[in-house]
Amino acid sequence: MAAAQKHSLLVVGSVAFDSIETPNGSVDDALGGSATYFSYAASFFLAPRLVAPVGEDFPEEHRQMFARRGIDAAGLVTLPGQTFRWKGRYHRDMNTRDTLEVHLNVLGSFKPELPERFRDSTHIFLANSGPALQARVLDQIRRPELVLADTMDLWIESERASLLTLLPRLDGLLLNDSEAKQLTGDDNIVRAGKAVRRMGPKFVILKKGEHGAMLFINEEVHVMPAFPSEEVIDPTGAGDSFAGGILGFLAADDQPAPGRLREAMAYGTVIASLTVEGFGLDRLKRADRMDVEARLAKFRAMLSF
Amino acid sequence: MAAAQKHSLLVVGSVAFDSIETPNGSVDDALGGSATYFSYAASFFLAPRLVAPVGEDFPEEHRQMFARRGIDAAGLVTLPGQTFRWKGRYHRDMNTRDTLEVHLNVLGSFKPELPERFRDSTHIFLANSGPALQARVLDQIRRPELVLADTMDLWIESERASLLTLLPRLDGLLLNDSEAKQLTGDDNIVRAGKAVRRMGPKFVILKKGEHGAMLFINEEVHVMPAFPSEEVIDPTGAGDSFAGGILGFLAADDQPAPGRLREAMAYGTVIASLTVEGFGLDRLKRADRMDVEARLAKFRAMLSF
C-alpha cells in the first residue's frame, strides 16, 4: 500500500452460508453474511477490518479470498460448531422474501472481543445484531470518529430500551423505511425519519430497497433513488453492500464526513446495484473500481436535470 | 399576456366531484378529475385549454375559478345529467386506496368534439380514458408536436388491441409501474419500461407514487424520486398534477422538448408534491410560481451529490 491510511474501517457482523431460491435460479451455501458483503464493498476503497465468527466447517478458500481482497480478517474467529446458515426464497417481484431456515450456530453465542490492533479503528460499522451486543463492541473502540449501525424490526420490538440507549452513541443509523415507521409509530416516512434522528443519531439513512434511500441530517431530508438494474438476480446483501460503499468511501477520504455523505450514499447505491446482479458475491467479484466509477458517472448523469 | 404563445396546451379528460376519506380527515364533492388537476398544474406555466364534460349540476363558481386561473374552458361542455362523481378511501399508509363509489354520469357517454380553435393545439395530454376515445381526440388535432397519454390497468386488460394501436402515435406514455409490468408481463421494472417504449412511444414515464418516477427514452433510463412531503393529506390528483407540470413546462418553453424532459419531470414532481399536501386543489391554490421555483431549487439541492 502506497501510504499509511489516516483512517481505518472496522465491521463487526456475520459471515454466513446462504442458500437462496429466486424465480431465476438458486444457489446453495454461497458465502454471505453482513460482514462479508460490507467488507467486500468497502474494499473497493480501502482495506477494511472484519470481525465475525465462523464454525469449524469454514473453508480455507474463503479466508484466502478475504486476504487477496485486502480484507483484514484477523477478527474472523473459529468457534466450535458450524457456521451461521440462512435459507430464503425470493418472491416473483424480488422485493419480498420468506426465510425458510435459520441456523444461528456459532453466531448464537458470539460475544465479540476485538483484536487489540482493531481497537484504534476510526470508522465502525455495527452490522445488524442486538443493540446490547452492538454497544459492547462500541465499548471496545478507543476513539471512534464515525459509527454507523444497522438494526431491524426484531430489535425494535424485543430490545427497544437497549436500542434507545445505543442511538445517542451513534453517528448514523441505517434502517428500512418500515422499521422507521415501527420505531416511531409514524406512517409518514419523512416525519418518521426525522423522529428517528431526534432519538440520538446525527444522521439516519432509510433504506427503501429498489426505491432507493433517504438521508436525514440536521433538519434536512435528502432522497436518492436506487440505480435501476435490468438483471436483479439476488437481492441478498444489498443493504450491507450499500453500507460498505458508504463507509468505505468515507473512511478512504481525508475530508470531514458530513458533507460527503451524499456522495458516499451514491457509491453505496451503485455498489449495491452490482451486488444484486449476481448470486452472493459473484457480480461484485467481476467488478473493479473503474466499473464502480463508470456506474457512478452514469448514475450522476441520470439524476441530473 | 405579454406575447403570443408559440405553443398551446390541450387536455382532454374528466372533471369530477370527489369525495375522499383519509386517516386524517375527509372531504365531500371536492372539485377534481384529471383535466382539473392537469390544467391547474399546467397553469403555473401557461394558459391551458380544457376539454371535459360536466353535468347540469356544475356550479358557476368553478367555471369562474378556471377563468381566473387562465384556464381556457371553452371545451367544458354541459351535458344533460350529473357530473362524474368518485368516492374513495385511502388506507393508513396513503399509498393504497379503495374506490367506494363511481358514478360516471355524463362522462359515460362523452364523445369529445374539440372546439375548432383548439384543433391547432401543439401539446396534447390525453388523460386516462379508453384508448379508442384517446385516438378519436388525436384525430381532431391538425399538427400535434407533443402528445402524452395516460392509461390504466382497465384498458390494458380490456382494450389491449386499441391501446397497442395508439402507442406508436404517441410521443410519451404515462403509466404506473404495476401497469408497465401488466402490459409487458415482465416483473423487472427496468426491462418493463424499456419494453413499453419499444411498443411505440418515443418515451415512457413510469409513475411510482411516493417512490418517484422513471423515464425511458431511447435506450436510456432516468430515475427521479418524489419530493418528500411531511404532510400527505390527500394523494388524489398527484399523477395528473405531475403530468400537468411536465407538459406545462414543456409547452411554455421554446426549446425542443426531449432535452428538457427531466427538468419538466422535476417541475411535475414538485407540483404533485404540493397537490398531495391538501384536499383537492386546496394546497395548489395557495401556491404561486415562486413557491414552485423555491421547491424545485430545494429538490435540486437534495438530489445533488
How confident is the model over A137-147, as a mean pLDDT? 96
B32-88 confidence digits (pLDDT tens): 999 999 999 999 999 999 999 999 999 999 999 999 999 999 999 999 999 999 999
Chain B, residues 8-47, CB within 8 A of chain A, namely 23
Give me the residue from B265, B300, B305 closest to A266, CB to CB. Answer: B305
A211-237 confidence digits (pLDDT tens): 999 999 998 999 999 999 999 999 999
A266-280 confidence digits (pLDDT tens): 999 999 999 999 999
Cβ count near A29 (within 10 Å): 16
- pLDDT for res A93: 81
Could you give the CA distance from residue B79 to residue B57 in angstroms, rounded to a whole number? 10
Percent of chain B at pLDDT > 90 equals 91
SS (H, E, C) chain A: CCCCCCCCEEEECCCEEEEEEECCEEEEEEEECHHHHHHHHHCCCCCCEEEEEECCCCCHHHHHHHHHCCCEEEEEEECCCCCEEEEEEECCCCCCEEEEEEECHHHHHCCCCCCHHHCCCCEEEECCCCHHHHHHHHHCCCCCCEEEEECCHHHHHHCHHHHHHHHHHCCEEEEEHHHHHHHHCCCCHHHHHHHHHCCCCCEEEEECHHHCEEEEECCEEEEECCCCCCCCCCCCCHHHHHHHHHHHHHHCCCCCCHHHHHHHHHHHHHHHHHHCCCCCCHHHHCCCHHHHHHHHHHHHHHHCC
- pLDDT for res B1: 42
Q: What is the DSSP letter of B91?
A: -
- pLDDT for res A256: 66
Residue numbers in B near A220 (CB within 8 A): 302
Q: How close, in Å, is residue B234 to chain A by CA atoms?
A: 13
Task: Check: CB of residue A81 under 8 Å from CB of residue A102.
Answer: no
Residue numbers in B near A276 (CB within 8 A): none
- pLDDT for res B254: 78
pLDDT band of B258, cuts 50, 70, 90: low
pLDDT band of A3, cuts 50, 70, 90: very low
Contact B265 A93 (CB under 8 A): no
Q: What is the DSSP letter of B187?
A: S
Q: How close, in Å, is residue A166 to chain B by CA atoms?
A: 27
pLDDT at B2 over 80: no
pLDDT at B289 over 90: yes
pLDDT band of A94, cuts 50, 70, 90: confident
Chain A, residues 246-275, CB within 8 A of chain B, namely 262-263, 265-266
A47-90 confidence digits (pLDDT tens): 999 999 999 999 999 999 999 999 999 999 999 999 999 999 99
Residue numbers in A near B187 (CB within 8 A): 23, 92-94
Residue numbers in B near A224 (CB within 8 A): 225, 303, 305
Q: Which of A82, A75, A89, A92 is nearest to A38 (CA)?
A: A75
Question: Measured between alpha carbons, how far is residue B59 from residues A284, B76, B236 in Å?
Answer: 62, 12, 21
B294 touching A (Cβ < 8 Å): no
Residue numbers in A near B268 (CB within 8 A): none
A148-170 confidence digits (pLDDT tens): 999 999 999 999 999 999 999 99
A102 touching B (Cβ < 8 Å): no
- pLDDT for res A234: 95
Contact A211 B211 (CB under 8 A): yes
pLDDT at B96 over 90: no
Could you give the CA distance from residue A265 to residue A284 in angstroms, rounded to a whole number? 17
Q: Quote the distance between the C-alpha of residue B10 and its chain's center.
A: 11
pLDDT at A258 over 70: no
Q: How close, in Å, is residue B218 to chain A by CA atoms?
A: 13
Q: How close, in Å, is residue A208 to chain B by CA atoms?
A: 9
pLDDT band of B257, cuts 50, 70, 90: low
Q: Of the ranges B11-20, B91-100, B137-146, B253-262, which one carries the lowest mean pLDDT score? A: B253-262
Q: Which of B98, B100, B96 is nearest to B232 (CA)?
A: B96
Conformational region of residue A64, where left means phi above 0, alpha means psi within -120 to 50, and beta covers everything else: alpha
Contact A223 B225 (CB under 8 A): yes
pLDDT band of A197, cuts 50, 70, 90: very high
Q: How close, in Å, is residue A258 to chain B by CA atoms?
A: 12
Closest residue in B to A231 (Cα) is B188
How confident is the model over B117-141, as a mean pLDDT? 97
ipTM, interface predicted TM-score of the complex: 0.87
pLDDT band of A2, cuts 50, 70, 90: very low
β-strands A146-150, A172-176: how paired? Answer: parallel
pLDDT band of B95, cuts 50, 70, 90: confident
- pLDDT for res A1: 42
pLDDT at B153 over 80: yes
CB pairs under 8 A between A and B: 88
Residue numbers in B near A205 (CB within 8 A): none
Residue numbers in A near B93 (CB within 8 A): 187
Predicted TM-score (pTM) of the model is 0.92
How confident is the model over B21-26, as a mean pLDDT? 92
Could you give the CA distance from residue A298 to residue A261 in angstroms, rounded to a whole number? 19
B198-228 confidence digits (pLDDT tens): 999 999 999 999 999 999 999 899 999 999 9
H or E element, residue B300: helix B289-303
A303 touching B (Cβ < 8 Å): yes
pLDDT at A252 over 60: yes
Q: Which three cell numbers stand for residue B132?
A: 379508442
